[in-house]
Amino acid sequence: MVEEYLTSPKQPPPLNVPKSDNVIKVSVIDSTSRLSIPINRLLQPEYKGKDKLQGPCLSFLIEHPSRKPILFDLGIRKDWQALPQYPMWKEMKWYINVEKDVATILKENGVDVDGGAIESVIWSHHHWDHVGDPSTFPGSTELVVGPGFKDAHLPGYPQRKEATLLETDFENRSLREISFDKQLKIGRFNAFDYFGDGSFYLLDTPGHTVAHICGLARTSSNPDTFIFMGGDASHHGGEFRPTQYLPIPKEIKPSPFRRRAGGHVCPGDLLQKVHRKGAADEPFYLVTTNFAHDKKVADWTIDGLGEFDAHENVLLLVAHDDVVVDPAQFEFYPKSINDWYEKSVAKKIKWLFLGDFEEAAEAKEKGGDAFAWGDFKVE
């Protein structure tokens, strides 16, 4: 059955991914990192009942058939209290919990991390909840970063007192900065063919920070399917859903709401009434100037995520997507997620973020306000 929407969807722009028969194995690692921080500093408006941005810090294991495995992001390091930002987090009473480093998770599953089994670690960007602890990997494991990273973020702490990265992150290891060929674009983004065979691309996705990059992995070639590794290009599904290409469905099945008895179907017009503009084809959230190194560019990047997300052969996962864990919506590492398309994972999770607006919907039904605008600027 063709899904019905509250407004007629437009055809999304073509992604123009170069054709290739080469695929890679992708596993999503639950890094055991969990955080909960105030949402209104990053996103506006603040919807009733949703005052925290909370969730995991996803990591990805990428296995090429003829190369050593690589990693995309590492979550939060287990000894995060050792970071120079810790006094600030303690004062602000942020919730942060980490059970294991990603290196430990790999070792527990038979990966010879200490013997150099991991070729590279790619950082989506320099923030503490993505870089993990590179010192848990040997010097043979290189770090890969986006353009402009070295000038913006080196040297590390304590050599540079205001740095958020540690000097120990880089000691005795290669730090490779990617240079994008502007002749190769996938969607709206400049792209880099990482293995040179069309199986995995890095995408230039600036705005949130200098040197922010995303990953695009080909998980099958017949048909072509892809996993988009979003890092912090977005923090919540409501930043890039719905769109003119993917409006709110007339009926959302199963319902994303958890408290309502017998809630097997949620009417889409109820969520439209909750929306900041009463729209069915614009995202629920706007990012604040606190979110972004460059707000205008960050908005442009988020719009680009919406274009990828509207293609049914793309599974888009941002690092802090709390709808995919607790309980898990698919099989995490050591299982592969290459079969996501056959298992309809994208369709299953795409609208689950709307569950964050259940209390706002209840308030709206009672004649109250669903949201309020805060003092944090979005323009």
Q: Which residue has the tokens 């150099």?
A: 116
Contact 219, 225 (CB under 8 A): yes
The number of distinct structural domains making up the chain is 1
* Per-position DSSP letters for 184-242, written without gaps between them: EEETTEEEEESSSSSSEEEEE--SSSTT-EEEEEEEEETTEEEEEE-TTS-SSGGGT-S
Is the residue at 61 inside a domain? yes
Could you tell me the CATH number of the domain that includes residue 285? Answer: 3.60.15.10
Q: Which amino acid is at 308?
A: F
- Residue 117 carries which side chain, given as an amino acid letter? A
Helices (H), 40-118: 86-92, 102-108
Per-residue pLDDT of the chain (379 residues; tens, 9 = 90+): 468 999 999 999 999 999 999 999 999 999 999 999 999 999 999 999 999 999 999 999 999 999 999 999 999 999 999 999 999 999 999 999 999 999 999 999 999 999 999 999 999 999 999 999 999 999 999 999 999 999 999 999 999 998 989 999 999 999 999 999 888 999 999 999 999 999 999 999 999 999 999 999 999 999 999 999 999 999 999 999 999 999 999 999 888 998 765 557 899 999 999 999 999 999 999 999 988 899 999 999 999 999 999 999 999 999 999 999 988 999 999 999 999 999 999 999 999 999 999 999 999 999 999 999 999 999 8
Q: How many CB atoms lie within 10 A of CB 376?
A: 19
β-strand pairing of 52-56 with 59-63: unpaired
295 assigned to some structural domain: yes
pTM of the model: 0.97
Instruction: Let me know if residue 11 belongs to a domain.
Output: no
Name 24's Cβ contacts closer than 8 Å, sequence gap at least 6. Answer: 62, 63, 64, 65, 195, 199, 200, 217, 218, 219
CB neighbours of 23 closer than 8 A, spacing ≥ 6? 199, 218, 219, 220, 221, 338
Q: Residue 143 — φ and ψ, nearest 5°?
A: -105, 140
Which of 191, 231, 204 lies closest to 20, judged by CA? Answer: 191
18 within some domain? no
Q: How far apart are CA 120 and CA 172, in angstroms?
A: 14
Residue 262 confidence (pLDDT): 55
Sign of CA dihedral 337, 12, 353, 238: positive
Q: Is residue 31 part of a domain?
A: yes
Q: Is residue 192 part of a domain?
A: yes
| Strands (E) located in 211-329 | 213-221, 224-229, 251-252, 266-267, 286-287, 314-317
What φ, ψ does residue 372 adopt, rounded to 5°? -140, 145
Q: Which residue, 360, 243, 330, 241, is CA-closest to 56?
A: 330
> Is 45 a member of any domain?
yes
Query: Is 228 within 8 Å of 215 (Cβ atoms)?
Result: yes
Q: Is residue 9 part of a domain?
A: no
Model pLDDT, residue 1 = 47
Torsion of CA 227, 66, 201, 246, to 10 degrees: -20
CA 154 – CA 152 distance, rounded (Å): 6
Q: Sign of torsion, CA 133 135 137 139?
A: positive
Backbone angles phi, psi at 6, to 5 degrees: -70, -25
Say how far apart CA 156 and CA 161 lie, in whole Å. Answer: 8
Instruction: Give me the pLDDT at residue 253, please.
Output: 87
Give the domain extent around 79: 25-372
